[in-house]
Amino acid sequence: MNPVILGIDPKWNSLLPLVVINVLMLSTVVIFAFKYKKRPKDEHLTGRAKSNWVGPFFYEYWGWFIRPLETLFVKLGLTPNFFTTFGFVLSAVAGYAFATAHFGIGGWMMILGATCDIFDGRVARRTGSTSRSGAYYDSVMDRFGEGAVFLGLAYYFHDSWILGVVVLALIGSNLVSYARAKGDSMGIDCTVGAMQRPERVVYLGVGSIFSPPFRQIFFPNDGRPIEYLAILALIIIAVMTLVTAVYRMVYIMHKLKLKEGLVFQEPRSPLLKRLKARYLDI
């Protein structure tokens, strides 16, 4: 029997540090909320693609939160490629944590790995060391890191129907990235769609962080632990990445046809006209 320490239920012994960290992080969100409208916008976020699934508040908050570390790293002379590589290592650790049922740790490693992906670009811009080779290296390592995360999840869910959801999420995530890359190579800038990489990291990372406390509070007597919030995040990612990939395919095809001089017949329905104008920019 696990001993009761300081009157704390044994089931919370491993969760308490995670709960403390989560509470501390949420307190910084509250502090930032009072500063949000008064502070100048983050120059590193200007011109970046907007997201309907992760609002500007979160982007601004995370930029504000990591700004002191960014300044420190610049002073230490750390290179953008260092952060790209370290971000991949953290993603691999996240994959291992998921595979061994440590979802809270896996979620935090995902968030930290994605933060390294933010650092590489911000440090490169502040030090004037941006390069095409660095951007290419970053893009490829992102795919490796995301693959490591899904590999860990696939191992954990290998005997469950959730394995199919993990595979669909992996396929959808790669298709979202490939559709944009292929569009860029053909001269079409494509940042449309709901479930891009930042959204995937936030949904799966945050869902995994809060999944163990949620399970312990609401389903304490489950025989085999079921990470409900993480599973919900995976289902959302699987569905929305596939939707985004198809959307990008249609969007890019329309743009390419316009460049080729093809004329489209206007839809008769006013609703279809509005949808076409909003989502295809034509």
Instruction: State the DSSP string of 27-96.
Output: HHHHHHHHHTTTSPPPGGGTTPPP-SSS-HHHHHHHHHHHHHHHHHHHHHT--HHHHHHHHHHHHHHHHH
Cα angle value 145/55/255 (rounded, 5°):
75
Other beta carbons within 10 angstroms of residue 97's beta carbon come to 22
Please give the DSSP secondary-structure letter assigned to residue 281. Answer: -
Residue 75 phi, psi dihedral angles, 5° rounding? -65, -35
Where do the domains of the chain lie, and which CATH numbers do they carry?
11-279 (1.20.120.1760)
Tell me the pLDDT tens digit for each residue of 62-72: 777 888 888 89
pLDDT at 47 over 60: no
Q: Check whether 208 has a pLDDT greater than 80.
A: yes
Cβ atoms < 10 Å from Cβ of 271: 8
Q: Which residue has the tokens 């570390």?
A: 69
Average pLDDT, the chain: 82
Whether residue 55 contacts residue 252, with contact meaning beta carbons closer than 8 Å, is answered with: no
* pLDDT, tens only, 104-145: 889 989 999 998 988 888 888 888 888 889 889 999 999 999
DSSP 8-class letter at 243: H
A 10 A CB-CB count for 125 gives 13
**Rounded to an integer, what distance in angstroms lies between the CA atom of residue 181 and that of residue 250?**
15
The CA-atom distances, in angstroms, between 177 and each of 136, 143, 164, 246 are 13, 9, 20, 12
pLDDT digits (tens, 9 = 90+) for 245-274: 998 998 888 888 888 876 666 665 565 556
* Residue 122 near residue 65, CB atoms below 8 Å: no
- Residue in the structure block whose two tokens are 């009761």: 4
φ and ψ at residue 267, rounded to 5 degrees: -65, 150
Q: Quick one: tokens of 14?
A: 């491993």
Is the distance from CB of 106 to CB of 91 less than 8 angstroms?
A: no
Q: Are the beta carbons of 212 and 107 closer than 8 angstroms?
A: no
Give which of 115, 127, 106 is closest to 86, Cα–Cα. Answer: 115
Q: Quick one: pLDDT at residue 210?
A: 85
First to last CA, the chain: 67
Of the ranges 17-31, 103-117, 184-198, the best mean pLDDT one:
103-117
